[in-house]
């Protein structure tokens, strides 16, 4: 006779949680790709690399890194704030492509 293993039952709540986690991951990946692409505009490998120049002895690199870090922090603060609104039912979940257009553009320092 077959016996149900309760540990293997996938509930509606578990399915919803998995779907939410997958959606969050997709948004995070897209935002991080946007952050890294922005760093590459200044010929840095990625956002982590650019951010590491914040204390550079090269004034231009340091200024670019400082502007980038402030912008990156603002991007993520905005993204998580908007995610909270979606989770609280205050706003509809946008398409990833549409959400990326909401993000502010970086303002690079002048030379």
Whether 43 maps to a domain, the answer reads yes
Confidence tier at 77 by pLDDT (50, 70, 90): very high
Whether 59 maps to a domain, the answer reads yes
Q: Is residue 56 a contact partner of residue 38, using CB atoms and an 8 Å limit?
A: no
- Number of structural domains, the chain? 1
- Count of alpha carbons within 13 Å of 76, Cβ hemisphere only? 12
CA distance 64 to 102: 22
Whether 16 maps to a domain, the answer reads no
Cβ atoms < 10 Å from Cβ of 47 = 22
The token duo for 2 is 């077959």
Q: Is residue 40 a contact partner of residue 46, using CB atoms and an 8 Å limit?
A: yes
The token duo for 33 is 């790709």
State pLDDT tens for residues 4-28. 777 777 787 878 878 888 999 999 9
Whether 20 maps to a domain, the answer reads no
State pLDDT tens for residues 40-73. 999 999 999 999 999 999 999 999 999 999 999 9
Residue 21: predicted pLDDT = 87
Whether 18 maps to a domain, the answer reads no
Whether 47 maps to a domain, the answer reads yes
CA distance 100 to 84: 16
For CA atoms 61, 62, 64, 69, the dihedral sign is positive
């Amino acid at each position: 006779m077959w016996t149900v293993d309760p540990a293997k039952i996938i509930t509606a709540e578990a399915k919803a949680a998995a779907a939410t986690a997958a959606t969050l991951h997709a948004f995070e990946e897209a935002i991080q790709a946007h952050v890294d692409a922005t760093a590459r505009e200044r010929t840095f490998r990625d956002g982590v690399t650019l951010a590491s120049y914040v204390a550079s002895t090269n004034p231009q690199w340091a200024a670019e890194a400082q502007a980038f870090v402030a912008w990156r922090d603002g991007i993520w603060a905005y993204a998580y704030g908007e995610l909270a609104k979606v989770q609280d039912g205050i706003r509809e979940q946008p398409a990833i492509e549409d959400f990326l257009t909401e993000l502010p553009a970086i303002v690079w320092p002048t030379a």
